[in-house]
Amino acid sequence: MKINGARAIVEILHKEKVTTIFGIPGGVVIPLFDAFYEDKKINIVITKHEQGAIHAADGYARSSGKPGVCLVTSGPGATNIVTGLATAYMDSIPIVALTGQVPTANIGNDAFQEADTTGITRPVTKHNFIVKNPNDLPLIMKNAFYIATTGRTGPVLVDIPKDITTAEIEFEYPEKVKIPGYNPTLKGNIRQIKRVMETIKNARRPLIYAGGGIIASGASEELKKFVKITGIPVTLTLMGLGAFPGTEPEFLGMLGMHGTKTANYAVSRCDLLIAIGSRFDDRITGKLSMFAPHAKFIHIDIDPASIGKNVIIDVPVVGDARHILHEMAGYAEPLNINKWFEEIEGWKKEHPLTYSNDDDILRPQYVVEQIYKVTGGDAIITTEVGQNQMWTAQFYKFTKPRQLITSGGLGTMGYGLPAAIGAQIAHPDATVIDIAGDGSIQMNIQEMATISQHELPINIAILNNGYLGMVRQWQEFFFDKRYSATCLKRVQRCPKICNNPGENCPPFVPDFVKLAEAYSAIGLRIEKKSDVEGALIEAVKTKKPVLMDFIVNPEENVTPMVPAGAPINKMISSKEDAQNFLLA
Partner 1 sequence: MEREYTIALLVVNESGVLAHIAGLFSGRGFNIRELSVGETENPEYSRMTIVVKGDDQIVEQIKKQLNKFIDVIKVNDLTNIPSVHREIILIKVKTSANRRQEIFQIAEVFKGKIVDISHDSLTLEVTGITEKIEALIAILKPYGIQEIARTGRVSISRGISHIGGIGNG
Ligand X SMILES: Cc1ncc(C[n+]2csc(CCOP(=O)(O)OP(=O)(O)O)c2C)c(N)n1
Catalytic residues: 50, 112-113, 162, 470
The residue ranges that bind Mg ion (CB under 5 A) are 437-439, 465, 467, 469
Closest approach, Cβ 441 to Mg ion, in A, equals 9
**In the bound complex, what is the minimum distance in angstroms from residue 66's beta carbon to ligand X?**
26
Closer to partner 1 by Cβ: residue 146 or 581: 146
Residue 182 binds partner 1 (CB under 8 A): yes
Question: What Cα–Cα distance (Å) separates residue 462 from each residue in 142, 171, 551, 556?
Answer: 41, 49, 8, 15
Judged by CB, which is closer to partner 1: 27, or 308? 308
Binding mask of the shown chain, residues 106 to 135, with x at each position contacting partner 1 by CB under 8 A: ------------xx--xx--xx--x-----
CA distance 317 to 304: 8
Sequence-ordered list of residues with C-beta below 8 angstroms from that of 340, at least 6 positions apart, any chain: 204, 205, 206, 233
- Taking CB under 6 A as the criterion, the residue among 451, 468, 535, 571 binding ligand X is 468
In the complex, the smallest distance separating the C-beta of residue 560 from Mg ion, rounded to whole angstroms, is: 20
3-state SS of 115-149? CCHHHHHHHHCCEEEECCCHHHHHHHHHHHHHHHH
Of the candidates 265, 196, 207, the residue with the CA atom closest to the CA atom of residue 236:
207
Measured from the CB atom, is 155 or 437 closer to Mg ion? Answer: 437
Residues 292-351 that bind ligand X (CB under 6 A): none
Task: Tell me, rounded to whole angstroms, the distance of Cα 204 from its chain centroid.
Answer: 34
Q: Which one among 218, 377, 411, 501 touches ligand X, defined by CB under 6 A? A: 411
Using CB under 6 A as the binding rule, whether residue 80 contacts ligand X is answered as no
- Could you tell me the smallest distance in angstroms from the CB atom of residue 289 to partner 1? 14
Neighbouring C-beta atoms of residue 25, cutoff 10 Å: 18
Q: Of 100, 108, 377, 91, whose CA–CA distance to 248 is shortest?
A: 377
Which of Mg ion, partner 1, ligand X, none is residue 179 near (CB under 5 to 8 Å by kind)? partner 1
Per-residue buried b or exposed e for 140-166, using 16+ beta carbons within 10 Å of the residue's own CB: bbbbbbbbbbbbbbbbbbbbbbbbbbb
Closer to ligand X by CB, 388 or 459: give it: 388
Q: Pick from 305, 361, 509, 564: which binds partner 1 (CB under 8 A)?
A: 305
Q: Is there a contact between 380 and 63 (Cβ–Cβ < 8 Å)?
A: yes
Does residue number 240 form part of the binding site for ligand X (CB under 6 A)?
no
| Residues 370 and 536 sit within 8 Å (Cβ to Cβ) | yes
**236 — alpha (psi -120 to 50), left (phi > 0) or beta?**
beta
Identity of the residue, 203 or 462, whose beta carbon is nearer to ligand X in the bound complex: 462
* String of contacts with partner 1 for each residue 40-69, x by CB under 8 A: ------------------------------
Sign of the alpha-carbon torsion through 215, 414, 66, 433: positive
Residues that bind partner 1 (CB under 8 A): 118-119, 122-123, 126-127, 130, 147, 179-182, 303-305, 308-309
Residues that bind ligand X (CB under 6 A): 384-388, 411-413, 437-440, 463, 465, 467-471
